[in-house]
Structures are given as structure tokens and as C-alpha cells.
Structure 1
Amino acid sequence: MINIQAKIAEGKSAGYERWAKKYNRKEVARTVCLLRERGIDNYEELKALTEKFSGRFNELSDEMRKSEKRMVEIGALLTHINNYSRTRKVYEAYRKSGYSRKFFEEHREEIQIHKAAKQAFEQLPESKVPSRRSLNEEFHRCLSEKKKAYTEYRQVKKEMQEYLTAKQTVENILGIDWKKQEEQKKKNIEYRNR
């Protein structure tokens, strides 16, 4: 809901005031309809539902982030595997040349790519480099988990936003100012800890 008095103090016009009043009435009506449809009878129930959906939203966000992170790691590892196999012959020739400076200068880029791939393999938690096939399977599994989580994520996000809006509207109607209450609690705790 819009704080009309604050907006007028900022210099908004009378037309804005009429629009804001109309908007606030619609928001209250929307909230009442939502609460009736969902069978929510009291503020505590609304607060619990808001916390439930916010928690689930955060869980799904974390799951999706983990899947995305792992997919990026797999992509980088696949790139290193491809680079290693592509530059292996050049590196073997470099070793056979006795690590010749002249050979290194001629094939600097391939040798550095090969060394970077080897270094990436050494940083793996397991000593064996996974196969391309197993990495591709894991990538597709992570992708399907992410897609599955995303469908639920969209629905939960919508529900969470509806409940958060309804909760804010109810708090505004009831005159509950949670920020002031939380600040007062923090001040009380600080005072007790002195």
C-alpha cells in the first residue's frame, strides 16, 4: 500500500492522491479476496504461510544455484579434457625434444593450454579424471534437476509474493510497524548486553 501522506509531503499532486487512494482500496480488496479464497482467518496463519513459502523459495533458489554452479564446473572440466587431448601430441613432442626452448617458443600456446589442463586435473578432489560420458550424464542430470526445480520455483515465487503483499497490506491496515518493533528489540538487547 502507498503511504499517501508521505507522498503528498514529497510534493505529489491531488491527481496522484486520488490515484493512490483508489490503488490502496484495490489492494485491500485483493488482499481480502486472497485471504477468503485461501481460508486464512488470522494474521498468525498468514505470517506462517508467508514464512513457509519464503523458506521454500530460498531452498529452491539454493538448489538451482548449486545445479548451475556444478554445470559450470562440468563445462570447464570438459573444456580442459578437450584441450588436453587436442594438445597432447604437441606436449609429447616437446618432452621428446628435451624441453627445448626453441620448440617451446614455436608451440607456446598449445603447451600452455596443455599445462593448464594438467593443472586443472591435479586440483580435482579424486585422482582420476572423469570420462566425458560420465560428465555429460551428470550435466544432463543437473540440467533436468534445475528445470524441475524451476517449475516449482516459479509457482512458489508467485505464491510467496501474493502472501508477502497480503501480509504487508494487513500490517498496514492493522497499523503494525514491524521495522520499528524490530529496531526496538535490537535496542533492548543492546541495552541488556551493556
Structure 2
Amino acid sequence: MEIDLNKGKTARQSIAARLDYIMNPKKTDGGILVLTYACSPETAADEFMLFRQEYQTNTGRTQNNEVIGYHVRQAFKPDEITPEEANEIGKVLASRMTDDQFAYVVATHIDKHHIHNHIIICSTDLEGQHKYRDVKQSAKDLAQISDSLCREHSLSVIQNPQDKTVTYDKWQGNQRRFTHRDELRMIIDTALRMQPDGFDALMQLLEDAGCRIKRGAQISIKPPEGERYIRLDTLGPEYDEASLRRTLAHDHVHIPKIPRGDFNGSQVKRLIDIEAKLHAGKGKGYQVWAERNNIDAKAQMVIFLKEHQIDSLEELNEQIQELTNQQKELKAALREKQNRMKEINRQRQTIRDYSRTKEVYTQYRESNWSVKFYQEHRQEIEDHKNAQAVYSSLDGKMPTLKELTAEYDSLKEQKENDQAALDKLKPKLTDLKHVRYNYEILERDSAPNSHQHVIPKDHHYDEHGANHDDESR
């Protein structure tokens, strides 16, 4: 769930209000059940704002509708887990979600019958360069990570046959009004499964289903009971004429907007009506298409992977894991270099401060530590003391400015090379994850159509005792 700026409040006030709620001592055993990363419980709001400020300084970007953080809840079956174990699981979940690139706070609440975690993630990374991307896949990824952690700890991961709580994306898909555009996409998807031998045959199937076709520079279709014509190219990239022709020519694998496995009850009923109309009077050949459709869909998945030069789903997952590991290694190397460069800057400033204030500090010492002299030269004296502390921490073995500058320049070059490698890797990893996502869409679309409402995947309990997946949006 996104944390936005509240009306009449500053960014700090908005994030502080959420942090204060989740870290409430009455809910977290006096604050014992609070874990943090890259920040402290007492100053988390201020540290989140520092990361935000550094991002704005580095990028020059500001946003009107800014997301300043993300709030995730993770709940467990009553009487099945200790607060301490829940707290540790929440920490691992946050770590895997963010790759430890973003600060976060994990608070375990024990004031309800069931134990549950609240996780708040800073929207800006530790280096002030990037924003956390809460993309469509995030809810699903979060649920998979959470379920995996629960299984590792022998905890329940249960289904919710009432479908009262699902991921936000699925909830929105199930609850929103079923539009004529949705219906038209469903008709096209169903007609494509009947394997028409060309575009004209596809259009004939749409007419059989009750659609009206208007041809011109762009083909427009009025769905049954629709009030107006809808252009194909407004339905999405999988539904324009060019994509449909490629699909019919077996040069492209069609990815449905909504797979059948995600249909709600009313959509399943509509699908039954559409199938009945398309089957009517078409003979035995059309009657058996559903029986072989699953086999054809599985073949489509193989073709889909081949289109992306991947021989199997296992190879796809291996490539994703390999690139993910490379990404983590590069990010870790970048953090290490960045931290060392910050330390070099601190040491260089120390050398400058020591040299600049040495004479004033000598005079202060010769004045027998005069209070009046201190008040007149407070800043220089404190700067010198701070510089002395840095020298002491290094046992007086401070490198020279020349040595520090040479090391800094070398690290900067290495950091730029690492960043270039990371920038090159990132789109490839994104593409592979997109391939896997589309593969999963096809897999859900190839599920047998039982004409029953599909039970969603595993969910955890929410704060009201219902099963819950996540609230990452």
C-alpha cells in the first residue's frame, strides 16, 4: 500500500504518523518487537527524509503526487508462531523485497488475537539515486516470498474459498465493472482458441457471437448489447489487427488481457454464453476444440519460450536467478565503493579542517583554554577537535591528500563501470521477468474451464481473521 503525502502535512509528518502507529509500544511489547535496516527506530522518519532529500538533490526530480513510502502487512494463523519468530520472518521478507537497497522498519503487533507484521519501506534507495518500483508484479512476488518463508518455518499457508481477500490487482479485477471492452476481449480470446484459419474467419466468429463489424482504415467492433463501436487498436497491443493477424499466422503467441484462471463468477457465466454461441451449428470439429485446447496451449507456451531463445521454463528461471545474483553482486560492490568514497571525502575534509584550524587551536591551548577565546572561535576549535578524533581513530596514520584523491578517482572509475554493467543488465532481467509473467498468464489461461469460480492461490490471515495475501499497494 502506497504512503502518499497527506493534505496539510509535510512529507516527514506523513511518514512519521505511519511509523508512530506501527512502532506503538503498546502493540510491540514496549518496542522490543521492532527491527530496522539502514535507520534507527527513534530517527527513522528523519532518515527517510534524508534519503528523499539526497534523491532530489542527485536527480533534480520532484513529484506532485509523490509516494514517500510503502506499507506492507503480513499476518499469521493464531497460536502458530511466537512474536520473536514473526519479527524475524518480517525482517527477512523486507530484506528480500528490497534487496537491502532501501531503508525499512519492521514492527510485530501482538495486540490482536493473531500476530501480524507491519513493514514500512522508504521509497528512495540508500544512495539517493532510485525510487522503489511497486510494479504490477510486486504483489505476486510479495505473496510468493511470504508463502515461501512460512513454509520454511512450517507455518500455515491456506486458501480462502470465500475469496474475501486477494491481492489488490486481483481484487480490482474482480470488483470493477465488467465493461464492453472486457467482453470484446473475451470474445476475441475465445474465438482465437477455436483456431480460425485466417482474419476473415476470426471476424466471422465474432459475428457469430453477436458482434457487428465495421471495416475501414481501422476495424471497429460493436459487442453484443454494446451501444457503440470499439476500435481494435484501443483494446491493447495484443488485440490490434496486426497482432491478431500475426497470431493467426502462427508468428506470435497471443497473451490474453485476463486469463481464464482469473475470471470471477460473472465472467465465467459470460464465457459460457459466448462459447455456446460459437459452438452453435459449427459441427463436431468445433465441439472437440476444448478437449485439445489445453494441449495446444501447452505447445503455445513452448513456442513462447522459443521465441525468446529459451529452451525450457527451468532455463528461464535459471537465467533470471543468474542475472538476479549478478545484480545483487554489482549492487553490493557499488555500495562498498560508495561507502569508501564517502569515507575518503570525510578524511580529505578532516585534513583540510586540521590544517585550517591548527593555528587557532594552538592559540586556544596557549590561552590556557580561555572561555572567552573559545566563544570567539567556537567553530574553528570544534572543527579541529573533530579532525583530531578522526586522526585518533586511524592511529594517526592518515593518508595524504594526494593518496586519497588517487584512490577516490580510481574508485569513481570502477563505480562507473559497475553502474554501466548494472544498467546493461537491468533491462535484460526485466525482459526475462516479463517473459515469465506472460508465460504464467498463458498457464493460467490454459487451466481447464470447469465453469466454476476459481479459488485463488494461497493467502494469509488478515487483521480481521480472514485469509490475506498482501497489501503492498
Contact preservation (8 Å) 2:181, 2:235: no
Q: Counterpart of 1:14?
A: 180
Q: 1:53 to 1:35 in 2, by over 3 A?
A: same
Code of the residue aligned with 2:401 in structure 1: it is R
Query: What does the per-residue CA deviation read over 1:42-91, in whole Å, with 9 as the maximum and x for residues that have no partner?
Result: 10010100111111111111111111111111111111111110000000
Range with greater deviation from structure 2 (19-28 or 98-107)? 19-28
How much has 1:173 moved relative to structure 2? 1.4
Code of the residue aligned with 2:378 in structure 1: it is R
Contact preservation (8 Å) 1:64, 1:149: yes
Range with greater deviation from structure 2 (166-175 or 29-38)? 29-38
Range with greater deviation from structure 2 (115-124 or 16-25)? 16-25
How much has 1:16 moved relative to structure 2? 6.2
Query: What does the per-residue CA deviation read over 1:15-49, in whole Å, with 9 as the maximum and x for residues that have no partner?
Result: 36648963456795699898435521210010100
1:106-125 alignment, distance < 5 Å: 106-124=376-394
Counterparts of 2:381 and 2:420 in 1: how far apart (Å)?
45
Q: 1:107 to 1:32 in 2, by over 3 A?
A: farther
Contact preservation (8 Å) 1:57, 1:153: yes
Q: 1:101 to 1:173 in 2, by over 3 A?
A: same
Range with greater deviation from structure 2 (149-158 or 6-15)? 6-15
Q: Counterpart of 1:187?
A: none
Contact preservation (8 Å) 1:4, 1:20: no
Query: What does the per-residue CA deviation read over 1:136-185, in whole Å, with 9 as the maximum and x for residues that have no partner?
Result: 01111110011111111011111110111111211221239xx94798xx
Contact preservation (8 Å) 2:364, 2:373: yes
For structure 1, which runs of at least 5 residues remain unmatched after alignment?
Answer: 184-194
Q: 1:102 to 1:12 in 2, by over 3 A?
A: farther
For structure 2, which runs of at least 5 residues remain unmatched after alignment?
Answer: 1-135, 138-168, 186-232, 244-251, 256-300, 446-455, 461-473
1:139-178 alignment, distance < 5 Å: 139-175=408-444
Code of the residue aligned with 2:440 in structure 1: it is E
Contact preservation (8 Å) 1:90, 1:111: yes
Contact preservation (8 Å) 1:40, 1:46: yes
Q: Does 1 or 2 have the higher relative contact order (CA < 8 Å, sep 6+)?
A: 1
User: 3-state DSSP class of the match of 1:146?
Assistant: helix
Residue 364 of structure 2 is aligned to residue 94 of structure 1? yes
Q: TM-score, normalised by structure 2?
A: 0.34
Counterparts of 1:20 and 1:73 in 2: how far apart (Å)?
54
Counterparts of 1:5 and 1:175 in 2: how far apart (Å)?
17
From 332, 349, 355, give the equivalent of 1:62. Answer: 332
Residue 402 of structure 2 is aligned to residue 133 of structure 1? yes
Counterparts of 2:361 and 2:172 in 1: how far apart (Å)?
71
Q: 1:29 to 1:118 in 2, by over 3 A?
A: farther
Q: TM-score, normalised by structure 1?
A: 0.77
Code of the residue aligned with 1:143 in structure 2: it is K
Q: 1:127 to 1:86 in 2, by over 3 A?
A: closer
Q: Counterpart of 1:190?
A: none
How much has 1:120 moved relative to structure 2? 2.0
User: 3-state DSSP class of the match of 1:52?
Assistant: helix
Counterparts of 1:162 and 1:34 in 2: how far apart (Å)?
13
User: 3-state DSSP class of the match of 1:22?
Assistant: coil
User: 3-state DSSP class of the match of 2:326?
Assistant: helix
Aligned residues: 180
Counterparts of 2:415 and 2:330 in 1: how far apart (Å)?
9
How much has 1:13 moved relative to structure 2? 3.5
Q: 1:95 to 1:71 in 2, by over 3 A?
A: same
